[in-house]
Structure 1
Amino acid sequence: MAGFPGFDVLLSRLAERRGLCVDDLSRLSSVPEAALRAVLDGAPPGRSLLRQLAPVFQLEAEDLFVIAGVALPLEMMPLDSLAGTAVARLARHAAQLPQDQRDQLRRLAQSLPQEHRTRPVPDPRPYLQYPPGPGGLLMRLLANRNLGWAAGAQTFLPLTGRYWSAATYGQVGRGRIGLTPDLLADFAIVLGIRVDDLAVLTGVDLPDRTASASEASVDVTGLIWDVRRLTLDQIQQLGDIAKSMR
């Protein structure tokens, strides 16, 4: 999509949505006002600035890097590029558990040790290199959770009821299928990002009626984030435990 706005515009939209001026952003983030004004005038944001700004917008720092188009450092990337299907399987089983068992599963996931990366980070395949645009942004945010086309489709189904093929999500990323308000709301549920934030980032209207995400969906999207720095084996073990709890 030609003309998709840069981070200066997106940052301004996020701040305006919350009624925050530059002085407010500086005070809340401890980023000097001059540095913020430079970014709002089009200067590229630094990593430290993005890390400090993310909590102001209730965003994960890794997601703000993606929104800003800044490459994630190795220590912020998902740990295991082969884990997508296991993440989707874990989400499917966890979505069917009662609250106390979901809480137990999340505590277990958060307690697992951080293991060393055993595989190099692969270069993105050509079909995953999305052009600038709202769909590409959402698919990059999905990939930030180790969810590609197939794993994403498998995760949307239990959390939103949307039954789409993997290739259809790829077409969204490439701008060949346009975003609708209802699709935006479903992305908000799976990503765990406020739908009004996604609306200002993508330029897509809010749906007429926005249903709140269920407690189960909120817990599962949190779990998906919890496991992004775990290995394939660890996530598979969590999936087995979630399945055994049902």
Structure 2
Amino acid sequence: MPLDAQAGSWAASLVNQARCLGPELVDHVRRLVRSLPQHPRACPFPPPKPWELYEPSYGAALVRMLTNRNLNWTAAAKALYCLTGLALSPATIGQIGRGRKELSPDLLARLATVLGIPAADLAAVTGIRLPTKMPPAHPAAAELTTLLWDVRRLTAEQVRQVLNETESLRGE
């Protein structure tokens, strides 16, 4: 599980800022993240809330994988929009986890982008056919999902520090 549950919302904001950078600057941000020390876990990662307890399903597995990247429903919706252009509400992310929102081929491919997993691998596991035409993804989606994975070991304060650096790289 991620080190600090509070860091998740900052991680989604970081991806939003980093997606506007060129490849060299995204690499700079990733090097910064890797250079930061890993702090010991201050408290256990919080257990799932009652509404986050899902019946076994592919949707539940995917939402748990998002959680493992420190993306709660809101942060997952933001990352999905930043990386694929698909606007879903946080509640819809919850519906995917609960099996109330069908995993369409398009949605599966977009979630694969956010998770940094080849869509063909998720299609093979779920039995859902991929769309004939793959949905659009940000050109740096692979680097940005790696960044998401890397920041899961950081505290909220460290992620805010990286976010501030990223904003300064953008000239804001």
On whether the aligned pair clears a TM of 0.5, the verdict is: yes
Residue 216 of structure 1 and its aligned partner are, at CA, apart by 1.2
- Report the residue type matching 2:76 in the other structure: G
Out of 153, 164, 171, which is 1:240 matched to? 164
- Report the residue type matching 1:124 in the other structure: P
Out of 98, 105, 109, which is 2:33 matched to? 109
- Distance, in Å, in 2 between the alignment partners of 1:98 and 1:106 is 12
Alpha-carbon RMSD across the aligned residues, in angstroms, is 1.2
- Distance, in Å, in 2 between the alignment partners of 1:88 and 1:78 is 14
Normalization by structure 2: what TM-score?
Answer: 0.95
Out of 100, 115, 139, which is 1:191 matched to? 115
Q: Tell me what 1:147 maps to.
A: 71
Give unpaired runs (5+ residues) of structure 2. Answer: none
Aligned to 1:82, the other structure's residue is in SS state helix
Out of 16, 30, 36, which is 1:92 matched to? 16
Q: Tell me what 2:127 maps to.
A: 203
- Report the residue type matching 1:116 in the other structure: P
Pairing 1:135–2:59 present: yes
Conservation of the 8 A alpha-carbon contact between 2:110 and 2:135: no
Out of 30, 38, 42, which is 1:118 matched to? 42
Map residues 27-46 of structure 1 onto 2, 5 A cutoff.
none
Residue deviations 1:73-100 (CA, integer Å, cap 9, x gap): xxxx210011110010001001111111
Give unpaired runs (5+ residues) of structure 1. Answer: 1-76
- Report the residue type matching 2:149 in the other structure: W
Out of 84, 92, 96, which is 1:168 matched to? 92
- Report the residue type matching 1:85 in the other structure: S
Map residues 23-102 of structure 1 onto 2, 5 A cutoff.
77-102=1-26
Residue deviations 1:159-189 (CA, integer Å, cap 9, x gap): 1001111001100110001000110110011
Residue 213 of structure 1 and its aligned partner are, at CA, apart by 4.7
Aligned residue pairs total: 170
Conservation of the 8 A alpha-carbon contact between 2:109 and 2:134: yes
Aligned to 2:71, the other structure's residue is in SS state coil
Percentage identity across paired residues of the two chains: 48
Residue deviations 1:88-131 (CA, integer Å, cap 9, x gap): 00010011111110000001101111111112221211111111
Normalization by structure 1: what TM-score?
Answer: 0.67
Conservation of the 8 A alpha-carbon contact between 1:88 and 1:152: yes
Structure number, greater radius of gyration: 1
- Distance, in Å, in 2 between the alignment partners of 1:196 and 1:82 is 32
- The runs of 4+ residues in structure 1 deviating greater than 6 Å are none
Residue 236 of structure 1 and its aligned partner are, at CA, apart by 0.9
Aligned to 1:239, the other structure's residue is in SS state helix
Pairing 1:157–2:81 present: yes
- Report the residue type matching 1:143 in the other structure: T
- Distance, in Å, in 2 between the alignment partners of 1:227 and 1:242 is 13
- Distance, in Å, in 1 between the alignment partners of 2:53 and 2:124 is 23
